[in-house]
Structures are given as structure tokens and as C-alpha cells.
Amino acid sequence: MSGKFSNQVAVVTGASTGIGLAIAQGLIAEGAKRVYITGRSAGTLNAAVETLGDKAVAVISDVSRQADLDALRAVIEEQGDRVDAVFANAGICEKNPLGETSEAAYYTMFDINVKGVFFTVQTLLPLMKDGSSIVLTASICSSNGMEGLSLYNASKAAVRSFARTWANELKGRKIRANVLSPGFTRTPLMDNGLGMSESDIAELRKHVEQITPLGYMAQPEEIASCALFLASDDARYVNGVELMVDGGLSQI
């Protein structure tokens, strides 16, 4: 590895599994001094730390709760750390057919996917170094209008909008804000959020192979490597963009 994050401190929300965990693994492999990871389940967080090793600090945190975000900030402050990169990755994906969606489902989706991203960044901003980086996880669904996912799609469109504004608003501190928008990726969201069975996932995989120019469904590590690029000095002149990592699907 090249040590692109040597001696740096990063925060990755929603890092118990999937893309978030892969981002944390990549940061540590590239020399990060400390990586704070968050999630809502102590069990999966502890398992993640066992995978990541002693450079990972697990904090049980629900990004939709300001008190939890304040507690995360306090843990970082107690360590005396300043933050080089924030990966606001935590999010959920659940189906909500129009005409069958409850008000509670609306609030849950937007509390986690939109409010959670906004207040994660706002809460950690005072701890971020000038010239540091923000990477927000959105989705290609923010612009493709996937059926039955109107709340998810709209929530990710809001995330994309945040990066445009923050790239401008944080220019005085030279903090970059970019968006990572994955395409079809095999993560636990398919099982836990969308409630898909193994046969459902196998069927989706075949569909993705047919419609995606590169011909396969991504693994979390392939998405994470692009998140690391956006946060690294390799992307030091990249600001306010949306990087679609989807095997070319959104371009055809």
C-alpha cells in the first residue's frame, strides 16, 4: 500500500458492514492513525473492530440522534484528535410504494439519510482540519427514479445537493465535499433493508449483469476504493462532484 492516509484520523459512519466497513479497512491499510467507526448495533460493531484491529475505535451511534452525534464528537475530543476525513456513509434503503407509504416511514428515511448526514457533518466540522475532506454516500438512485424507492431516491438527491453547497460554503477552510454514488452493490442492505431472499438477490444479480456495461454487480471494496480516492490528495482539486461508481450503468 502507498500510505496515502498515513497518520491521518478519519470518521466513517455506518461502518459495521458493507461499504462503510470496506472504507475503514482501506483507510487502515493505507496507514491511517485512527479510524472512528459508528453503527447502531454493538454486536456488528464489535465484529468490525475484530476485523479492523486496534486502529479502529467503535462508537455506538444513531446518526438520526443529535445526542449520539455529540457523544461521538466527545469521544474524538477525549482522544485529542483532529479529523482529516469524514465519510458520512450511514443510511438505510427500504421500499415504499406510492400509495402504501406511512408517515412514519417517511420520517425514518429522511431522519437517517438526510438529517443524519447533515448533522454528522455539522457536529464534526469544528474538529476537522483546514484542507480536510468530506465524502458523502449517495446512490445512482438519486437521479434514476427507481420504482418503489421514491423516499430513498429523494433522500439521496438531498445528499448530492449538500455537497454542492458545502463545497462553496467551506471554501474559506479549503475543505472539500464530494459525493460517492454507488450502483448495484452486494451489501447487507439487500438482506436487512430491502428484505431480499437469496433467490431474489440471485435474480437481481442476473439482471444487473445484463444491464450494466461492465457486466457484474459490485463488491463493497470496489466502491470503497473510490471513496478513498475522493478523500485523498490524489483528488485534491476535486470538489463538489458526484462520482458514480456503477460499472457505467448511469451513462447508457
State the DSSP code for 250.
G
Amino acid letter, residue 147: E
Catalytic residue among 36, 106, 152, 237: 152
CA distance 180 to 137: 5
Looking at the chain, which runs of residues are DSSP E strands?
9-12, 34-39, 56-60, 83-88, 128-137, 176-182, 242-245
CA distance 52 to 57: 9
CA distance 86 to 125: 9
Cβ pair 19, 187 in contact under 8 A: yes
Q: To 10 degrees, the CA torsion angle through 80, 6, 69, 12?
A: -160
Among this protein's residues, is 152 annotated catalytic?
Answer: yes
Question: Catalytic site residues?
Answer: 152
